[in-house]
Amino acid sequence: MAILEVRNLHKSFGSNHVLKGIDFDLEEGKVLSVIGSSGSGKTTLLRCITSLEKADSGKITVNGNYVFDSENEHKLTKEEIRKNRLAVGLVFQSFNLFPQYTVLKNVTLACELQAKKRDEWRKNKKQILEEINSNAKDILAKVGLSEKLDSYPCQLSGGQQQRVSIARALAMNPDILFFDEPTSALDPELTGEILKVIKSLAAEKMTMVIVTHEMAFARDVSDHIIFMDGGVIVEQGDPEQVINNPQNERTKHFLNRFKENS
């Protein structure tokens, strides 16, 4: 059974029909990369799946639970919708860290807010906070930031800030982790450290969806690649097929243009 299912997803902004019936599945432990030119609908697709945008119609399920269902949305309670949305995590292009908080606090803050909603918060507040902090420190160690727990975002490089944002998303223990052009705000020399972290997560079988313009990286890390153009999926398949042996002329044109500009 697929961990993520997207069915006939549509999204418009005014007269601009951005997503035109998107369908795909993603198996647990697999990595999906979404490629395509600017304006092809990649980021809008990601934002709809992660509930930052509301699709106009279609269905999105994670682990069999509806994140969005235009036909039966009225049947879901607010609590069910909130719980289902917590199943996905998102790493933004521009880090979105809180400048007034330390690295550790940036990672633990969302977890603390969720913990306060649990029944046992009042009785076991100290123990819960200790667990949250311990988990955050373990994750920050995983992304190579053990020595930066008490640092503030302004004291970090762009690559370090992005690693904090990855740690923050992982701390919520999502079923699927989404990346929206995770290296686009970085200088070229810092890109490698982020790609290394993502590759390590892939080796641990973290289910991921990555919107990226890094074609070599998409080829090396992905189990499946989707090429979008004009709001539709033009071609999809394994990296060997899509990157090295594309069948659709629009895919070939996009990849040739990428090679020319690289």
pLDDT tens, residue by residue, 8-47: 999 999 999 999 999 999 999 999 999 999 889 999 999 9
Residue 192: per-residue pLDDT: 85
In the predicted structure, residue 66 carries a pLDDT above the cut 90: no
Query: At residue 148, does pLDDT exceed 90?
Result: yes
pLDDT of residue 51: 87
* pLDDT for position 257: 77
Distance CA 157, CA 106 (A): 16
Q: For residue 73, is pLDDT > 80?
A: no
Which of 66 and 178 is assigned the larger pLDDT?
178
Which are the contacts of 231, defined by CB distance < 8 A and separation ≥ 6?
17, 18, 19, 20, 40, 41
> If you average pLDDT over residues 117-128, what whole number do you get?
84
Distance CA 34, CA 172 (A): 23
pLDDT value of residue 262: 53
Where b means 16+ CB within 10 Å and e means fewer, 193-222 reads bbbebbeebbeeebbbbbbbbbbebbbebb
What is the average per-residue pLDDT within 62-69? Answer: 87
Give 184-220 pLDDT, tens digit per residue: 878 877 888 888 999 999 999 999 999 998 898 899 8
Residue 261 above 60 pLDDT?
A: no
Q: Which whole number is the average pLDDT over 159-164?
A: 93
- pLDDT (mean) for 123-139: 92
Q: What is the mean pLDDT of residues 234-253?
A: 94
Q: Does residue 260 surpass a pLDDT of 60?
A: no
pLDDT of 259 reads: 65
